[in-house]
Amino acid sequence: MRSTWRKYVLSPAIAFVGIYTGGVLQNVCAQLPEQPQAAYKGEAEDLKWQLKQMEESFTRQQEQMKQLTEVATRQQEQIQILKNRIDTMNPQTTTTQTDEAKTPPVSKEDVKQLVENYLSTDEARKKMGINMPAMTTIYTPDEDKFSIGFASANNNYSLGIGFRMQFRAAYKDRNEDIGENDTMNMDVRRARLCFGGNIYSKMTHYYVELDGDSFEVGVRDFYVYWTPLPELNTKLGYFKVPFNQQRMSTSAKLLFQDRSIASEEFDQDRDYGFDIYGKPFDGYLEYHAAMFQGAGEDDEDRGTEDNLDNELMYVFNVRYNPFGTYDTVDESDLKFTEKFKASVAASVVVNPKERDEKLEDTDGLQGVLELSMKYRGFSWHNEYFIRSEEPEHGGNSVDSDGFFSQAGYFVIPKRLEVAARYSYLDRDEDVSDDIGREYSGGINYYFRPGVHRSKLQADFGHYENSDERGREQSGIENQIRLQYQIVF
């Protein structure tokens, strides 16, 4: 009975459902629009573009996360440094770190130097939007003279610009027996504008300095020089004669406001010349071999006609630095030298000048011996001069000598300095009453630690002078001076 039902009822029902379903599906398929193959292709390209955009966005996010990680790491290091500094400042704070594991405290000067070093890089300048290359090191006799610098992309051209002023007030108490009254003056002792840098290559340099000391603009220095090797360099133009260290030191970095009376008497100042110089053996040795016009700076005309006797001036200088390179430009130990430094030097001049005036028809010879040292804020410098002058057409020869010794010490490192100096001058050894003496003491305060860019100098000087040749006013003089210097 059950098999008969399956045969005559269930089988036809299944057949009917299959036929009906097939018809419906066929009808539905007939109603669907045809999809062209190009549509599928455009959809694939769109998906690929979206995938590329997502990949690029993911890459940028990864870079940002990396930068954030680096910033977080630096902040953690800075936090640790600050914690260590707090621990060192608070004696009650205890820590489980050993002395070897502690991070040493960082001074403000160190942080400032790190920031300045970073800001001078091309990367920092680009991030700040400064569309010019970072300033390169501009080789000059004294790089601290420059405050603004520009350089080409390849560093073959550069320009440094600097300005310096010294404002001074001075009171002079003069002895009444010389017929001079006391004076109180305020003036601009020095006003200098300088330019320097390199041209054509990193070995060819130039330097120009203008002065307005007397409100009359004049040229102080102008020369070019080549530096192919530390051991061998050349200089050509109008510049300081490389005779004694105190004259070669810039007036911006003197221990006192002016040079000693002995240095003023014997130094050779500036002249037209050619100099071969260098620092072989890693700066343990220095030398100069130079020749100059010898006509002097104060002549109205400085052409070849000034050298009336056709005798040039020759200079030979040698310096030995037993403990390595010695800073002869700065008379103070403002950099607070951690390792003891010393220097010994000797120079000789053939056909020297006297008070920057040429000695005509006179055979002259002059020399100087020097001893200097610096250590942890203490500086000591000494120079001893001798000179011999003999007229070519008969007459008495003149032998002169003089020296000075000065010392400085920073009571507060890189901030407050005390100084003392004694100088002696004998203009003619055959004349008994022809002596000059200087006793000076001073205090220097540096508003910007470690640099001469803003400082205040005060000194007191006692001068005794007798000059039978009439070159100087004889008598006793006391002098008090106050000077402010700014370099920018």
| pLDDT tens digits, 126-149 | 455 444 444 445 555 556 778 888
pLDDT given at position 81: 76
Q: Is the pLDDT of residue 4 over 60?
A: no
Task: Indicate whether 60 belongs to any domain.
Answer: no
Q: Do 300 and 392 have their domain in common?
A: yes
| Domain region containing 112 | 67-90+105-119
Please state whether beta strands 357-358 and 362-375 pair in parallel, antiparallel, or not at all (unpaired).
Answer: unpaired
Beta bridge partners of 357: 354
Does 262 lie in the same domain as 114? no
Is 409's pLDDT higher than 60?
A: yes
Could you give the 3-state DSSP secondary structure of residue 120?
coil
Provide mean pLDDT across the span 457-477: 80
Radius of gyration of the chain measured on its C-alpha atoms: 40
Q: Are residues 254 and 113 in the same domain?
A: no
User: In terms of domains, do 255 and 113 share one?
Assistant: no
The pLDDT value recorded for residue 301 is 47
417 lies in the same domain as 277: yes
Asked if residue 61 is part of any domain, the answer here is no
pLDDT of residue 121: 53
Structural domain includes residue 457: yes
pLDDT of 80 > 50? The answer is yes
The tens digit of pLDDT for each residue in 303-332 reads: 444 666 678 999 999 999 999 999 999 999
Confidence of residue 91 (pLDDT cuts 50, 70, 90): low
Q: How far apart are the C-alpha atoms of 350 and 390, rounded to whole Å? A: 12
| Same domain, yes or no: 111 and 249 | no
Domain assignment of residue 131, yes or no: no
Q: Which of 117-121, 129-133, 288-292, 373-377 shows the lowest mean pLDDT across its residues?
A: 129-133
Do residue 274 and residue 366 come from a single domain? yes
The pLDDT, as a whole number, for residue 391 is 87
Provide the whole-model pTM.
0.69
Residue 5: its pLDDT value, please? 42
> Is it the case that residue 460 has pLDDT exceeding 90?
yes
Give residue-wise pLDDT tens across range 157-216.
889 999 999 999 999 887 765 567 788 889 898 999 999 988 998 889 999 999 887 677
Over residues 329-339, mean pLDDT = 93
What confidence score (pLDDT) does residue 64 get?
72
229 vs 219: CA distance, rounded Å: 29
Amino acid at 117: N
The average confidence (pLDDT) of the chain is 80
C-beta separation of 369 from 383 below 8 A: yes
Q: 395 and 263 in one domain? A: yes
For residue 337, report the phi and psi dihedrals to the nearest 5 degrees: -60, 120
pLDDT of residue 57: 76
User: Does some domain include residue 262?
Assistant: yes
Residue linked to tokens 């707090």: 86
Identify the CATH number of the domain in which residue 176 sits.
Answer: 2.40.160.10
Across 403-413, average pLDDT: 97
Q: Are 235 and 115 in a shared domain?
A: no
Total domains in the chain come to 2
Q: Answer whether residue 148 is part of any domain.
A: no
Domain membership of residue 48 (yes or no) is no
Mean pLDDT of 418-429: 94
Q: Do 81 and 179 reside in the same domain of the chain?
A: no
Q: What is the pLDDT of residue 296?
A: 72
The residue that leads in pLDDT, 202 or 485, is 485
> Is there a domain that residue 209 lies in?
no
Q: 178 with 110, same domain?
A: no
Cα dist from 10 to 5, 19, 21, 277, 387, whole Å = 7, 14, 17, 121, 143
HEC assignment per residue over 432-474: CCCEEEEEEEEEEEECCCCCCCEEEEEEEEEEEECCCCCCCCC
Query: Residue 9: its pLDDT value, please?
Result: 42
